[in-house]
Chain A
Amino acid sequence: KNQVEQSPQSLIILEGKNCTLQCNYTVSPFSNLRWYKQDTGRGPVSLTIMTFSENTKSNRRYTATLDADTKQSSLHITASQLSDSASYICVVPRSGTYKYIFGTGTRLKVLA
């Protein structure tokens, strides 16, 4: 069954701390994985894409990893800011189809 599972469901951290969000997938065939950030009441916005051959990619304070063998991805946020408070959604397209499989997201809250 094609699934994307994210953990934890929710996370509370203090401003300036680091955190790591996890995404496990069983989507086949697989070509890439995306992380989206969704502010409350807004539409999701793409943070990064991880293709099959990539292991690590950084974008400002966000670092994504992909292990295609274990079918796991992580999103590490460094030196968190209040503006990082949002839901982070892992999305995997089913290669060769129009379908995207969405995780349920991790709701991150950063406290001052």
Chain B
Amino acid sequence: DGGITQSPKYLFRKEGQNVTLSCEQNLNHDAMYWYRQDPGQGLRLIYYSQIVNDFQKGDIAEGYSVSREKKESFPLTVTSAQKNPTAFYLCASKSTGELFFGEGSRLTVL
């Protein structure tokens, strides 16, 4: 089935460690997004990629990095520079204006 796969579903990190969240899609969509979701807040854009080898910072990019080497893949690295990384992270791709979301990855910093 076509869709977006995020992994891992749950991730625990010690302070000072970098972690990478995987996002893979087989929908053949060009545009992909990473959002962060915190309780009581709307989704906030971390990074956006319109096409392979191109990406732009979103509203809260500090402490995060991405790559887009393949159309299907858009991994997000949460670096030690991110001061409050505990959150639910959602990857999405876009087609004709509609966002299609993965199941999310919950990152907890110990």
**Residues of A near any B CB (own CB < 8 A):** 4, 9, 32, 34, 41-46, 49, 89, 91, 93, 98-105
Contact = CB atoms under 8 A, between A and B. Distances in A.
B42 A104 contact: yes
28 contacts: A32-B97, A34-B98, A34-B99, A41-B88, A41-B106, A43-B6, A43-B90, A43-B101, A43-B103, A43-B104, A44-B90, A44-B99, A45-B101, A46-B98, A49-B98, A91-B99, A93-B97, A98-B31, A98-B48, A98-B56, A100-B43, A100-B45, A100-B99, A101-B42, A102-B43, A103-B42, A104-B41, A105-B42
B101 A98 contact: no
Interface residues of chain B: helix, strand, loop or mixed (majority): strand
Q: In the A-B complex, list the 10 residue pairs whose CB atoms are closest, starting with the nearest.
A: A43-B101, A102-B42, A102-B43, A43-B103, A104-B42, A44-B101, A43-B104, A43-B102, A98-B48, A42-B103
A49 to B, nearest CB: 7
Contacts of B100: 46
B40 interface: yes
A5 to B, nearest CB: 10
Contacts of B41: 104
A93 B56 CA distance: 17
Interface residues on B, range: 20 to 34
A4 B50 CA distance: 24
A44 B103 CA distance: 8
Contacts of A93: 97
Contacts of B4: 43
Given A4-B42, A41-B104, A43-B103, A98 B50 contact: yes
B22 to A, nearest CB: 14
Nearest to B90: A43
Interface in B6-62: 6, 31, 40-43, 45, 48, 50, 56
Nearest to A45: B101
